[in-house]
Amino acid sequence: MSAWLYDIQQESDAGRVTWNIRAWPRDAASPDGGGEWYDVGLQEIDRESVRIIIANNHLPARYQGRGVAIALYPVLARRLGRRLVSSRTTVANTNEWRTPRATEIWHYLVSVGEAEELGGADCFVIDGRPGYARPTAARPAPERP
Sorted by sequence, the CB contacts under 8 Å of residue 14 that are 6+ apart come out as none
pTM of the full structure: 0.87
Determine the 3-state secondary structure of 2 from DSSP.
coil
Residue type, 125: V
pLDDT given at position 66: 87
Question: HSE on the CB side for 68, CA within 13 Å?
Answer: 25
Sorted by sequence, the CB contacts under 8 Å of residue 122 that are 6+ apart come out as 88, 89
Residue type, 35: G
Give 86-123 pLDDT, tens digit per residue: 998 878 887 778 889 999 999 999 999 999 999 888 89
- pLDDT above 70 covers a percentage of the chain that reads 91
Residue type, 95: N
Q: Which fold has domain 4-127?
A: Aminopeptidase (3.40.630)
H or E segment at 104? helix 100-111
Question: HSE on the CB side for 85, CA within 13 Å?
Answer: 20
